[in-house]
Amino acid sequence: MPAIKKRKVERETHVDVGASDASSQNDESSETPAAPKSFRELGIIDSLCEACDTLGYKAPTPIQSESIPPALQGRDLIGLAETGSGKTAAFALPILQALMDKPQSLFGLVLAPTRELAYQTSLAFEALGSTINVRTAVIVGGMDMVPQSIALGKKPHIIVATPGRLLDHLENTKGFSLRNLKYLVMDEADRLLDMDFGPILDKILKVLPRERRTFLFSATLSSKVESLQRASLSNPQRISISSNKYQTVSTLQQYFLLRPHKHKDIYLVYLLNEFAGQSVIIFTRTVHETQRMAFLLRALGFGAIPLHGQLSQSARLGALGKFRSRSRNILVATDVAARGLDIPSVDLVLNYDLPTDSKTYIHRVGRTARAGKSGVAISFTSQYDFEILKRVEGALGKELPEYDAPKDEAMVMAERVGEAQRQAIMEMKNFDEKRGSRGKQFGRGKHSREEMDREEG
Ligand SMILES: Nc1ncnc2c1ncn2[C@@H]1O[C@H](COP(=O)(O)OP(=O)(O)OP(=O)(O)O)[C@@H](O)[C@H]1O
């Protein structure tokens, strides 16, 4: 078993390789030496190679090829690679290997911006670490604290957490400390390092040992020094697997659809009929809109299920489970589903509302066309948000083609959609009343911070 040796490096190193994805794993760039062909050649031990084999990982993806060797040498990493390009295994494998070398409880901490992503990442660690019996604990908001305290008491090797709840345990759970932590990962690091999470993160970082390795990963990571400094990296190696900061994968076909705001529901139904039977995620900007749309689509006979931050955590996991298992083929979601979720069957991402920030656009459309598969993303654009489309195109560095949705074919559905809209409004009223009595009525109209649904505990 190779020992993990620390190597002192004087300056940040930059590795840039051409745009690529999990399908083009063996692409070789003229700027970099030939990529090693196997996980074994990267220095991964046999038992972990076996796990990769079982998962069907035939060869490392580019971000894995570039990240694993320096990580095994004890470097801090900043990893930038497209959505669906295998970043999870890029940080999980070196941590599992280091854990094998010096087994210890509370060895690694992975921070994630959403609860669903935390669950998914913990499953990835368990799958990759199955041959070495790795124990993980998921510490997220919306779930009972007591079972989590018990899970922490059982001394897991790896904790996967959302920041708010982790801090809660660090402050209130007797006997729990991360004093001996060896690895910290910030997955979706740009989101974790932004203003919303910043103060919580600072408090967590204060109680972590400075003598640790730190990995920052995302598909959209700017090199803003202030926010990266927050993570207190030590001589990080920066690995960037794309030529453009805001790259989407080549297997993704992206379109916009410019229609009047008042006809959006009609064209939405037209598109869902066009993609009938396929697996679709519809993103909206607010909790209210997500819930309304789920009612609307159900009234029209579609198998739609909502996912947003004002549902109980068990309802959220239930919704995701049904969508994953394809017992429902349409997930209507706020941006709680925008980052990290890996559901290989997703064929189409529909942006019912364009997100105001281009990074969110990249993450949303990245829920399809993962690991070399193809996918389609269509973004509704109305008279009100044409400017946003132009901004997104600016960030992507290309213009998007318009999707062909003939007016006469779509408008025949106007009457039925109108009926379903009225039904959805009634159902929303009942829904709001029920929740209102529990003090949880959705606001309407303005996009308040709570409504935008980006917070996680
Ligand atoms: N070497 C590999 N060969 C084949 N498939 C792989 C390999 N590594 C990872 N995968 C698969 O690719 C998919 C995407 O991986 P992952 O979720 O880690 O992507 P990501 O880069 O973190 O995406 P995002 O930026 O959206 O979070 C997963 O289903 C994973 O199992």
Ligand 1 pocket: which of 25, 49, 61 to mutate (most atoms <8 Å of CB)? Answer: 61
Cα separation, 84 vs 228, whole angstroms? 23
CB 270 within 8 A of CB 404: no
Cα separation, 240 vs 417, whole angstroms? 46
Distances (CA, A) of 264 to 92, 324, 421: 42, 27, 12
Is ligand 1 within 6 A of the CB of residue 125?
A: no
Is ligand 1 within 6 A of the CB of residue 60?
A: yes
Is ligand 1 within 6 A of the CB of residue 84?
A: yes
Q: Residue 246: what pLDDT?
A: 78
Ligand 1 atom nearest to 120, measured from its CA = 17
Q: Residue 289: what pLDDT?
A: 96
In 10 A of CB 132, how many CB atoms?
16
Is ligand 1 within 6 A of the CB of residue 219?
A: yes
Is ligand 1 within 6 A of the CB of residue 88?
A: yes
Long-range contacts from 48-53, C-beta under 8 angstroms, 24+ separation: 48/93, 48/96, 48/97, 48/100, 48/128, 48/129, 48/131, 48/132, 50/131, 51/127, 51/128, 51/129, 51/130, 51/131, 52/89, 52/93, 52/128
The closest of 355, 354, 301 to 329, measured between CA atoms, is 301
The closest of 246, 222, 256 to 397, measured between CA atoms, is 246
Cα separation, 303 vs 100, whole angstroms? 45
For ligand 1, atom 8, which residue shows the shortest CA distance? 86
Regions of the chain where pLDDT drops below 50: 1-31, 439-451, 455
Q: Residue 63: what pLDDT?
A: 97
Is ligand 1 within 6 A of the CB of residue 65?
A: no
ipTM of the complex: 0.99
The structure tokens 């001394």 sit at 155
Distance 222 CA to ligand 1 centre (A): 21
| Tokens linked to 280 | 């679709």
Is ligand 1 within 6 A of the CB of residue 54?
A: no
Q: Residue 450: what pLDDT?
A: 39
Distance 430 CA to ligand 1 centre (A): 41
The closest of 357, 314, 320 to 336, measured between CA atoms, is 320
